Amino acid sequence: MTPEVLVRAEQVHKSYQRNEVLKGVDLEVRRGEVMCLIGPSGSGKSTFLRCINLLEQIQHGRLWVDGELLGYRQRGDTLHELSEKEQSRQRADIGMVFQDFNLFSHYTALENVIAAPMIVRGESRAAAVERATALLERVGLGDKLHAYPRRLSGGQQQRVAIARALAMRPKVMLFDEPTSALDPELVGEVLDVIGDLADEGLTMIIVTHEIGFARRVADSLAFMDAGVVVESGRPADVIDAPQHPRTQAFLSKVL
């Protein structure tokens, strides 16, 4: 039995005014799979992630998460845009970790993690705090519960951001270059946390420039360039024996 597909993208197009960023992205991520997206800057990787989280509206194609069409309801051959509430519910099931952390700066680490479960899911304070504390301990920040983001290093902030996303018990986690804004010596601590999540079988799509990390944790690797997935497959195959000249050119520069 093949594992079911959790995230599916079909011919996703996205453009800003005249500038077409995504030119038909096809991708499938199975439940429990870790997929790394690599590619040069401007290739559309981050935009694609934001489309999955409905932060961007696509102009063509379809996106499904867990069998549910994202952003629309299909009636016959027309698509009806979901209400804001329905879109928010879909987003709540999709965790997102940003390049620049985006912790809520008026909340402490703990408050950052309990905010969405309480506000969005209506969880009780006690339950939210208990779970948030456990999550923050798991990412190694049990002693920083009451610290404000400004007092945390970039690596610590990003780990809080991961705990914050996990607190919503997402079906899939999206990482948008989670270590690109970090000082080199802080990259490791964040990658370790993501690696642990991979071991636990969380479904993840990770946009990254860390090829070594991708080779280690990814079940599959997709190389994007100029708005399309050029090549995908097992990480070792793509990295060590790229088939497409553009993949070869990119990897020869970054490896």
Partner 1 sequence: MAHRTRQLPEHTEESDAPDPSRAADGEAPPDLRIRLVPKRHTGRAFAAALVGLALAAAAWSVVTNPRFQWDVVGQWLTARTIMEGLLLTLWLTALSMAAGVAIGIVLAVMSSSKNRLLSGAAAAYVWFFRGTPLLVQLLFWFNMSAVYPRIVVGLPFGGPELAAFNANHVITPMTAAFLGLALHESAYMAEIVRAGILSVPQGQIRAASALGMTRLQTMRKIVLPQAMRVIVPPTGNQTISMLKTTSLVSVLAIPDLLYSAQIVYSRNFQTIPLLIVATVLYLVTVSVLTLVQSWIERKFSPDGARERRPRTGARTTALDRRLP
Question: Which residues of this protein are in contact with partner 1, per CB under 8 A?
Answer: 53, 55, 84-85, 88-89, 91-96, 98, 100, 102-108, 110-111, 114-116, 118-120, 122, 125, 129, 146, 148-151, 161, 164-165, 168
Taking the least distance from each CB to partner 1, the nearer of 55 and 254 is 55
Taking the least distance from each CB to partner 1, the nearer of 167 and 214 is 167
Q: How far is the CB of 163 from partner 1 (least distance, A)?
A: 12
Taking the least distance from each CB to partner 1, the nearer of 79 and 120 is 120
Q: How far is the CB of 132 from partner 1 (least distance, A)?
A: 11
Pairing of strands 204-207, 19-30: unpaired
Taking the least distance from each CB to partner 1, the nearer of 74 and 105 is 105
Using the Cα atoms of residue 228, residue 230, residue 232 and residue 238 in order, give the sign of their dihedral. negative
Q: How far is the CB of 154 from partner 1 (least distance, A)?
A: 14
Q: How far is the CB of 97 from partner 1 (least distance, A)?
A: 9
Distance (Å, whole) CA 39 – CA 22 = 13
Q: How far is the CB of 250 from partner 1 (least distance, A)?
A: 28
